[in-house]
Amino acid sequence: MKIAFLDPADASTDALVVAVGAENALSPAAEAADKATGGAISRAIAASRFTGKPRQFLDLLAPNGLSIGRLVLAGLGKPAEANAKAWQDWAGAAYSHLASSGAASVTLQVETMGGPLPESDAAANAAFGVGLACYRFDRYRTTEKPDQKPSVTEATIMVAGAKAAEEAHTPLAEIAAGVTLARNLVCEPANVLYPETLAEHCATLSAQGVDVEIMDEARLEAIGMRTLLAVGMGSARDSRVVVMRWMGGPDDQAPVALVGKGVTFDTGGISIKPAGGMEDMKWDMGGSAAVIGAMRAISGRKAKANVIGIVGLVENMPSDRAQRPGDVVTSLSGQTVEVINTDAEGRLVLCDLLTYVQQTYKPKAIVDLATLTGAIIVGLGHHNGGLFANDDALADGLTSAGKSVGEHLWRMPLGEEYDKALKSHIADMKNVGGRDGGSITAAQFLKRFVEDGTPWAHLDIAGMAWSSEAKPTVPKGGTGYGVRLLDQLVADQFEG
């Protein structure tokens, strides 16, 4: 999608989108169009149920008095409450409304109508919204007809102060690139994306100035990451761990660590999953995709922070070499784990990563992300990621960052009463604690590998990495959830 900025002028476009506030408060551009068309807009509004609410649209085709094929009234809601997210949603929804309309070029005129943002910032966020909304994973579609593809190929953001808007959009475009990368990774099939090839995708971040280290199985065995290696024992695909270092802050500043689960396909192992829906398990690497995408965004906008991204990449398959229920494995921390269920594999990947990143980098805080449990979907559905934390300030920072970018979190409890469920009769702990409170006992398992005094948060994003319902800036499929959240957390809490 080609996105450009333009100072106000006569629009040379197939479709012009203008904002209308709640209770049909016309923007100056809408008022001018109403006058040019002899009151056609006012008459159309009066004859419809359009009221200017967010994601409401009213189209006027070939309006008399305007040299455009389509004029679109796009509801903004209350202008006084139109923050950055509102403008992203306004533009993203408008793009989706017009994507298959037959229009090839679209112009969105941004006027804040006294809202809280400078118009240049509102326009930058509108462009960001279009960039997120136009995502489409179609590389394997070979028989699609032209009329099945989006018609819109160009979007122009018209705003007073186009140059300032373009400058404000530059870092947002880098964040969009990170989201796109994460979505692509989640959408790829498991025969294309497996530990080795996912590691190769990580290596491309070196072009952004990220120092990328890929560790193979021999190195991981030498280090002692045996719980992680145990997960991949049944697969013909060798496991990998990738460390991505962006050191944009002071040399003496401890980094923040972002840790991602990257199970490129999860059959459940010997504790095999039911066949129905197993194809969705290609996105069990959504946590690693979020970390990789966040590292792309953070490095792309040259964040003044030190950030370590680490992802554990494995494939969980059943075979004669696979780990069995009842096996005991020794983690990098030295703690032993009785594997009761081989389908509770993500925590075995993450626990070694948590130990390694603490031993190696002494981070000031750790955030791990994983599509860890089905239990979190039962509890929170597909509207919030589960947040578990041992530090209130970090939890509050994550919640605030998530709210500002529209990637919401809901804090869940931790406690000794849940920890007791992990007691093993032959090892230091079991890898599962039973059906009740499954997402909580999974978090309690991970907490055992976090050193006292280290702020840590665990995000269970099993309900958020993939969506069957489109939103204004998130099409169906891989969502890229976590990229904007992590980038915003770094900007709010660790930059400066």
- Give Rg (Cα) of the chain: 24
Looking at residue 125, its amino acid is N
Residue 362 backbone dihedrals phi, psi, to 5 degrees: 45, 60
Sign of CA dihedral 226, 229, 231, 235: negative
Side chain identity, residue 358: Q
**Averaged pLDDT score across all residues of the chain:** 97
Tokens of 309: 């991204």
Residue 360 has pLDDT above 90, yes or no: yes
342, 301 contact by CB (below 8 A): no
- Name the strands in the sheet holding 365-370, side by side, starting at the edge strand that comes first in the sequence: 211-215, 240-247, 306-316, 256-266, 365-370, 456-460, 385-389, 409-411
467: enclosing H helix or E strand? strand 466-467
Query: SS3 of 489, please?
Result: helix
The residue ranges of every structural domain in the chain are: 2-160, 175-494
The whole-angstrom separation of Cα 411 and Cα 371 is 16
**Whether the Cβ atoms of residue 347 and residue 445 lie closer than 8 Å to each other:** yes
Quick check: is 55 catalytic?
no
- List all residues 6 or more positions away from 495 whose beta carbon is below 8 Å from its beta carbon: 249, 303, 304, 305
CB 41 within 8 A of CB 70: no
Catalytic residue check, 237: no
CATH architecture assignment, domain 2-160: 3-Layer(aba) Sandwich (3.40)
Residue 394: which residues within 8 A CB-CB, separation 6 or more?
Answer: 365, 367, 455, 456, 457, 493
- The stretches of 20-100 forming alpha helices (DSSP H) are 28-36, 40-46, 84-98
Query: Residues 226, 237, 273, 471: which is the catalytic one?
Result: 273
For domain 175-494, give the CATH number: 3.40.630.10
Q: What's the mean pLDDT in 424-449? A: 97
Residues in the chain: 496
pLDDT (mean) for 34-39: 96
- Within 13 A of 429's CA, how many CA atoms are on the CB side? 26
With a cut of 90, say whether residue 120 has pLDDT above it: yes
Which of 315, 320, 347 is closest to 431 using CA atoms? 347
> Is it the case that residue 11 has pLDDT exceeding 80?
no
pLDDT reported for residue 13: 93
pLDDT digits (tens, 9 = 90+) for 126-158: 999 999 999 999 999 999 999 999 999 999 999
Taking only the tens place, the pLDDT of each residue in 275-291 is: 999 999 999 999 999 99
Tell me how far CA of residue 418 lies from CA of 56, 68, 358, 444, in angstroms: 46, 63, 24, 7
Share of the chain above pLDDT 90, in %: 98
User: 324 and 308 in contact (C-beta within 8 Å)?
Assistant: no
Contact yes or no for 428/419 (Cβ under 8 A): no
Contact 329, 336 (CB under 8 A): yes
Return d(Cα 280, Cα 273) in angstroms, integer.
11
pLDDT in tens, 207-241: 999 999 999 999 999 999 999 999 999 999 999 99
Query: In this predicted structure, what is the pLDDT of residue 9?
Result: 87
Residues 69-116 pLDDT 10s: 999 999 999 999 999 999 999 999 999 999 999 999 999 999 999 999
DSSP tag of 490: I
The answer to whether the predicted template modeling score (pTM) of the entire model surpasses 0.85 is yes
pLDDT band at 455 (very low <50, low <70, confident <90, very high): very high
- Sign of the torsion angle spanned by Cα atoms 157, 163, 167, 168: negative
Report pLDDT for 202: 98
For the beta carbon of residue 443, count every other beta carbon within 10 angstroms: 31
How confident is the model at residue 10, as a pLDDT? 78
The whole-number pLDDT of residue 337 equals 98
Phi, psi of 253 (to 5 degrees): -95, 125
Reported as type and span, the H/E element at residue 350 is: helix 346-361
